[in-house]
Structures are given as structure tokens and as C-alpha cells.
Structure 1
Amino acid sequence: MDCPSEEQMIRMKLESYAQVKHLDFDIPNRKLEVYHVDDVKAIKTSIASLKLGDSLEGTTEAEPPVMEDQSKQKRILWWVLGINFGFFVIEMTTGWISSSMGLVADSLDMLADSIVYALSLFAVGGAISRKKKVAKYSGYFQMALATLGFAEVLRRFFSNTETPLFQWMIIVSIFALAGNLISLWLINKAKSQEAHMQASAIFTSNDIIVNGGVIVAGVLVYFLNSKWPDLVIGGIVFTFVMRGALRILKLSK
């Protein structure tokens, strides 16, 4: 499990199985403990269909662990969702104003995170078909945006476009970095050992790295007086966005 989307894929896949009582994800070690009744064969087959490179290590009798306070976790995830979606809007707007593909790409990366968090929050208690439909539309929407982003990067690469406003790149990315640091602080403050909280911390840490990349690109734009650093970071982040879209689409299968 290297991100929340993989966890969601498994949860949505196994949700219809009445014999599954609890799922305990170990994100860093890519392990999953399934607490269930009856035979494990159907569960194993279902997980294998996701093609995540799974293998069954063994089975044993055990009692499901005591659940942590879900309300506290949900409040934190709502805050993280709000921060991510807010900066999606801010970076998308300022990205086009400043002609920065780095900011636009980072905004879509924020949107990808927001979609996964929203699926986690809104899907609670909902019908499986509705969850999969939301994931499908969200994935295609994000894929379309990433494709348009790649096309715009190529257009600017082969045309004589203006150099992006490095001031906007640096300032907005610093604020986005601060937002992600706050998100990471909130997540770590919960001290939760549950998978979706650990995955959220990983997601947010990756966002911090992306923010730093856009800041560095802005500095290089200033010193080199060139659009190339912005296009390079934009292309790199759009690749992550496309990858995220493909992962979200897997949720709909």
C-alpha cells in the first residue's frame, strides 16, 4: 500500500463481502490483515483481481482490534481536504494568471489528493455502485485535465511564449507549502496507527516535495530568465497527476 487510493481500491472491493469484519492496513510495509469468517479463498481471489502484486502469507485465528476514535480522524481529514481543495483553486487561478505550468500542475496534484480524501469521507455508508461511479467520473475528469496540461506544456515548449512570473510561483508555492505542513502537523498530531491516516501523511509529505520543486523552479526562472524550469517541473508533476488519475480509475472497477 503506497497511497490512499490503493487502500480505497481494496476496501471498495471487499466491502460487499459479509464475511469480512475488519481490515488492518500496514502502509509502510505493504501488508494487510483481513479479519474474516468462513473461507479466505474468495477474499484472496478478489484482492488478486486488483493486480497489486499480492501474496497470502498465512491465516490464523484472531480477534479484530479495538477501533480508534473515528470522529477525530474525520475532523482532521475534513481539514486536510479543505486545505488541499482550497489550494487547488488558488494555484489553478494564479497558475494561469502567471503563465506557470508548475503551479497549474501542482494544483491538479492537490485536486487528486482532494478526490481521494473526499471518496474516503463521503463513501462512508454509501452504496458501492455510487462510490465506484464517483471514482470513475473523478478519474476521467482528472485524466482529461492532466492531458490538457501535457498539451499546454508541449505547446509552450515549441512556441515563443512568455516567461512565467517567478514571483507568483515562489509566493504561492510557499503558502501551499505552509498549508501542507499544517496538514502534516494535524495528521501527526492525531497519532493514529490506522492505514488511511498513515497514507494521508505519506500523501502530504509528497506534496511538500512537489511544493519545494515549484519553488526551486521559480528561483531558476528568475536566475536564468527562462521558461524551461517551469515547463520541466510542470511536466514532472503532470506525470504524477496522470498516475493519480489511473489509480482513481482503478477504484471504479
Structure 2
Amino acid sequence: MSDSCCADACGTGDALNDKRWRRILWIALILNAAMFFVEMGAGVQADSRALQADALDFFGDAFNYAISLGVAGMALAWRSRAALFKGATILLFGLWVLGSALWAFFSGTTPVAETMGIVGTLALLVNVGVALMLFRYRTGDANMRSVWICSRNDAISNVAVLAAALGVAQTGSAWPDLGVAAIMAGLAITGGIQIIRQARSELQSVKKSGIAVGEAR
């Protein structure tokens, strides 16, 4: 299945310029930007660090989709550079989540489980829908793969948020919320490393081939 998808769409100039790929990115951009405001507002109201962290993840993904739209169809070297930048932002997001979890640990507040569950379900539906749209592009170049990794990690994070909501409701403790924050940080760091590694590999291939940056395809 993945081989046939790659033959049709992954990592080629035609794929990066096709209307379907760009349309999916625009849909993902709009949905992620909207969910940032929804989830951040709910996270602040419910005092949930997991929801707030997930909201910032939506914001970061919307920014990443915008970058992808800007470099789609450009030379491989430029797409790989954009992927490097995205990988770095994902790593920074992971570090931010770790710091936020530590702050929440010392603040000692307990989030509202009901709000976490409702908003977490909405976020999961959005991310699963986007991930399904992007599934065929998961084995493309570093830029395409980075978009897929973001959506995949987001869906996993949403399941963790729902589990945390159940844990908070059952225990009345903030520990499940903090645990989700740690999981999301791990996913962000791992995804960022994967993206950076592939992007650097592609840039090295361009240099070895002797093709000037900005002309490689």
C-alpha cells in the first residue's frame, strides 16, 4: 500500500505541486489554528496543563503547515531546511511542556476533568481526521514526513489527554494531568529528532551530489 502511494505522490515535484496536497494542508492549517483558541481557552478555564500544552501544540502545527505551504514545490534543499526549522520548533515545544509540568507540580492545582474530557474528544476528532488525510504522504521527503509525524503525535496526545481526564475524575489529583504533559514532551522531542535527522541526511545528499542549494529537486 505504501509503495503504491509513494509511486503516485511521495517525494516528487508533481506531488508537492498537486492540488490535493496543498488543499489538505490548508484544511489542516485552518483546523489547527481554530483548535488552538478553543483548547487554550478551555485549558485556562479548567486549569489543565495538558490542555494548554496541547493547545500550543495546535498552534505550532498550524505554523508548521503554513511553512509547508510556503515550501511545497520548491527545491529539495529548501524543503529540508524548512523541515530542520520545524524539527527545532518541535524540540522547543517539548522543552516548554517539561517546564510547564514542573511549574504545575509546585502550584498544586487540580484541573476540571469534565472540560478536559469534552475538549480532548473534540481535539482527537480533529487530529484523527487530519492524520487520515495525510496518511498517504507519511513516507515522503523530510518536509512531508514532518507533517505526518505532527498529526500522528497529536492524535496520540489527545488519547492521553482523555486518559488524564478520567484519571483526574477518579482520583481528584493533578498527577494524571502532569503525566500527560510528560508524555507529550517525549513525543515532541522524539518527533523533532526524527525530522532533524532526515532533513540533515537530505541536505548531505544534496551536497554530495554536487548540486547547488536551491537547484536540487
Shorter-chain TM band: 0.5 to 0.7
Cα distance, 1:232 vs structure 2:
0.4
**Alpha-carbon distance change, 221 to 244 in structure 1, aligned in 2, over 3 angstroms:** same
Structure-1 residue corresponding to 2:103: 155
- For the residues of structure 1 that align with 2:194 and 2:13, how far apart are their CA atoms? 30
Check if 1:195 corresponds to 2:140. Answer: yes
Preserved contact between residue 119 and residue 135 of structure 1 (Cα < 8 Å): no
Cα distance, 1:176 vs structure 2:
0.7
Determine which structure has the larger helix proportion and give its number: 2
Structure-2 residue corresponding to 1:95: 43
**Alpha-carbon distance change, 204 to 147 in structure 1, aligned in 2, over 3 angstroms:** closer
Map 1:203-222 to 2 at 5 A: 203-222=150-169
- TM-score normalised by structure 2 residue count: 0.67
One-letter code aligned to 2:51: L
Preserved contact between residue 166 and residue 221 of structure 1 (Cα < 8 Å): yes
**Where does structure 2 lack aligned partners over 5 or more consecutive residues?**
204-217
One-letter code aligned to 1:223: Q
Determine which structure has the larger strand proportion and give its number: 1
- For the residues of structure 2 that align with 1:239 and 1:199, how far apart are their CA atoms? 16
What is the root-mean-square deviation of aligned Cα atoms in Å? 4.0
- For the residues of structure 1 that align with 2:13 and 2:97, how far apart are their CA atoms? 45
- For the residues of structure 1 that align with 2:78 and 2:134, how far apart are their CA atoms? 30
Structure-2 residue corresponding to 1:71: 19
Structure-2 residue corresponding to 1:85: 33
Q: % of aligned pairs identical?
A: 28
Preserved contact between residue 112 and residue 245 of structure 1 (Cα < 8 Å): no
SS at match of 2:108: coil
Map 1:127-166 to 2 at 5 A: 132=81, 135-136=84-85, 142-157=90-105, 159-166=106-113
**Where does structure 1 lack aligned partners over 5 or more consecutive residues?**
1-24, 35-64
Map 1:1-253 to 2 at 5 A: 67=14, 70-124=18-72, 132=81, 135-136=84-85, 142-157=90-105, 159-187=106-134, 195=140, 203-246=150-193, 251=199
Structure-2 residue corresponding to 1:37: none
